[in-house]
Structure 1
Amino acid sequence: MRLIRGLHNIRPSARGGVATIGNFDGVHRGHQAMLQRLRDRAAEFGGPSTVISFEPHPREFFSPEEAPGRLTPLRDKVAILARLGCDQLLCLPFNRKLASLDAEAFIGRVLVDGLGIRHLIVGDDFRFGRGRCGDFQVLAQAGAVSGFSVEDTPTVDDAGGRVSSTRIREALSRGDLAVAERLLGRPYVLSGRVINGDRIGRDLGFPTANIALPRRPAMEGIVVVDVRLPDGEIRPGVASLGTRPTVNGTRPLLEVYLLDWSGNLYGLHLQVALRHWLRGQEHYPDLNALKQQIARDVENSRAWLAARQQTAGHSVISDF
């Protein structure tokens, strides 16, 4: 899949296809239904399938302190879209210049002059342009003039209601990883490169692989995880996700302790699938109390993994 960063990097081969627009945070089952429609229409029209998205998320630009935690950072979103068979992602930098465009200017610069689209697919509640003034009707009218057609797609529902990024965040905030996985259509995964830490885990007897998170995650707590190593091997573990209140941490960090494993992970890129929520973050009076709790977390993780193995017939589930 081709990643196009900004309108100035659009090549002639990227034009003349079918596009859809959105943040696609999580690339959940609702998004996946739209992307399937995108691929089908691109095959009919004979051009590339293009996902148009923004970086950062508009809500992060306008209200960074109030913006919800990300489900998928850009790198993970690119990987998921590639697996789903999309031809290209046009990533537009969301800044004051883009935010100032009204609906007509956005259509002209991005859809017509930039991509030269032949067909556009949007969600049934799609809004765009300065003040969110653009909608399906505006797009249809512009398309009639500029030579592209427009269709909307219905929302995807399940027994709990509409499949949405908001519902997934709500499920994660209460530690309900099963519901999040059902809505995503896959496990909730965080990924990143292992950095040097302060070695507190090693001193406590539980050395961890530390992954800095660029933005506040959608959930916090202690979680049983599966970890995919760069060579493809998947190992079980237990992870702490949050700001480490006992050691006065401030930045969000993912700390992963691999069970029954030893080796050097520094500098490697790991994928961490969150499988089962154990408990929330807590503040402990001293490091000894923290060490005792970590030992209990490891024991509880082993118990859950053993139950999974008995149920599923294998120790590691690799569907991520």
Structure 2
Amino acid sequence: MERWYGIDQVPADLTASVVTIGNFDGVHLGHRAVLADVVDTAHALGCQSVAVTFDPHPAAVHRPHEAPELLTGLADRLDLLAETGLDATLVIAYTAGFAAQTPEEFARRTLVDTLRVRRVVVGEDVRFGRDNSGDRTTMVRLGERLGFSVQLVKDVSAAGDRRWSSTWVRELLAAGDCAGASAVLGRPHRMRGSVVHGEARGRQLGFPTANLAADATGTVPADGVYAGWLLRDPGHVQAAQPHRLPAAISIGTNPTFDGTVRQVEAHVLGRRDLDLYDEEVVVEFVRRLRPTVRFDGFEALVEQMRRDVVEAADVLDVPRPELLPALPG
């Protein structure tokens, strides 16, 4: 998939496209239904399939104090969009100036003049242009005037008729229901960030962890201990070694040690030999094992951590690791 950061990067020789527009936060199953229609329609018409998305999220510009925590950072969003079979994604820098365009100015400049659009595929709730004044009816009228057709995709619902949405995923993650979030996303929820030095308590307890930097991207689930995976860049892994590693992931402030800083840290099951500092990794959440609690003493905490590691291995269907004693000191 080609990635265009701004309309000036769109190839001048692009002849025709089928386009969809959206934030695509999380690229959940509802998004994927629309994107599948875009790809199929583009193939049928002999056009390029293109998604138009925005960075930052429009709410961060218009309502910064109410802007949602994004499910995915831009890098992961683009990787997930690429998995759908799109030919290209156009990332538009969302600014107050861009937002001031009328619906017709946006359609003419971006869709017609830049992307040579033949068909726009959008959901029923599409909004665009200054003050979100453009809707699906506006898009149809603009298409009639500017020479493109509009294909409306009905909302896709899950069992129980709730619409797939990024808001729903955030609600599930806030409740610690990563399994439920995965069902809406069609994949495990993920975070991405650099590994930084922590207080090394995990190593002292016999369970060294990779601590994600505070600027890691992706919504942080509710505090607790999770079974999941740690993914390394294959370029950092020696040949024949796996880059996807089973992990027990802790989120919280370490209340047993009176901690105050909320952290996301992943222990790769059975491994003490990994040096991940300054490496960018992805952490995927499969299932919550338990909430974060305060333990009365070192021994009780270590015993629970041993149970967590065993349970995480069982959830992930990997061999239970050999449990090593805590390090002295």
Per-residue deviation at 1:113? Answer: 1.9
The correspondence of residues 287-302 of structure 1 with structure 2, limited to 5 A, is 289=297, 292-293=300-301, 295-302=303-310
Q: Tell whether 2:172 aligns with 1:171.
A: yes
Shift of 1:144: 1.2
Q: Secondary structure at the match of 2:117?
A: coil
TM-score, normalized by length of structure 2? Answer: 0.84
The residue number in structure 2 matching 1:97 is 97
In 1, Cα distance between equivalents of 2:104 and 2:290:
49
Query: Which amino acid in the other structure matches residue 22 of structure 1?
Result: G
Shift of 1:269: 2.9
Tell me which residue corresponds to 2:239: none
Aligned residue for 2:150, secondary structure, equals strand
- Following TM superposition, by how much is the alpha carbon of 1:123 offset from its aligned partner in structure 2, in angstroms? 0.6
Report the AA paired with residue 232 of structure 2: L
Contact 1:239 1:257 survives alignment (8 Å): yes
Following the alignment from structure 2 to structure 1, what is the Cα–Cα distance between the partners of residues 270 and 127? 50
- In structure 2, runs of 5+ residues without a counterpart are 235-241, 321-329
**In 2, distance between residues paired with 1:30 and 1:229?**
28
Report the CA distance between 1:91 and its aligned residue.
0.5
Q: Out of 79-88 and 230-239, give the one that drifted further.
A: 230-239
Asked if structure 2 preserves the Cα contact closer than 8 Å seen for 1:238 and 1:297, the reply is no
Aligned residue for 1:233?
243
Whether the 8 Å contact between 2:25 and 2:70 is mirrored in structure 1 is yes
CA contact (8 A) 2:191 2:216 kept: no
**Cα distance between partner residues in 1 of 2:243 and 2:51:** 31
2:286 — aligned with what? 275
The alpha-carbon deviation at position 255 of structure 1 amounts to 1.2
* 1:230 shift after superposition: 2.9
- Deviation string, structure 1 residues 251-309 (Cα, Å, up to 9, x no partner): x6421111111221123332222011134455x59xx8478436514412412432653
Distance in 2 separating the partners of 1:79 and 1:291: 43
Aligned position for 2:237: none
Aligned length: 307
Instruction: Say whether the 8 Å CA contact 2:228–2:312 is kept in structure 1.
Output: no
1:260 aligns with 2:270: yes
- Paired residue secondary structure (1:157): coil
Contact residue 55 and residue 94 of structure 1 kept, 8 A: yes
2:155 aligned counterpart, secondary structure: coil
Spell out the pairing of 1:51-200 with structure 2 (5 A cutoff): 51-160=51-160, 161-200=162-201
Report the counterpart of residue 21 of structure 2 in structure 1.
Answer: 21
Taking the aligned partners of 1:291 and 1:172, their CA distance within structure 2 comes to: 30
Q: Distance in 1 between matches of 2:108 and 2:309?
A: 54
Q: What amino acid is the match of 1:172?
A: L
The CA deviation at 1:180 is 1.1
Q: C-alpha separation between the residues in 1 aligned to 2:169 and 2:282?
A: 19
Q: 1:101-137: per-residue Cα shift (whole Å, max 9, x none)?
A: 1212211221122212111000111111121100111
* Shift of residue 77, structure 1, vs aligned partner: 0.9
In 1, the alpha carbon distance for the partners of 2:52 and 2:136 equals 16
Q: Is the partner of 2:187 in helix, strand or coil?
A: coil
Name stretches of at least 5 consecutive residues in structure 1 with no aligned partner.
none
Question: What secondary structure is seen at the aligned counterpart in 1 of 2:281?
Answer: strand
Match of 1:219 among 215, 218, 221: 221
| Residue of structure 2 equivalent to 1:208 | 209
Match of 1:306 in 2: 314
Give identity over the alignment, percent: 34
User: 1:16 is aligned with what amino acid?
Assistant: A
Q: Is the 8 A contact 1:171 1:180 kept in 2?
A: yes
Q: CA deviation at 1:204?
A: 4.4
Letter of the 2:307 partner, please give it: E
Q: Which amino acid aligns with 1:132?
A: N
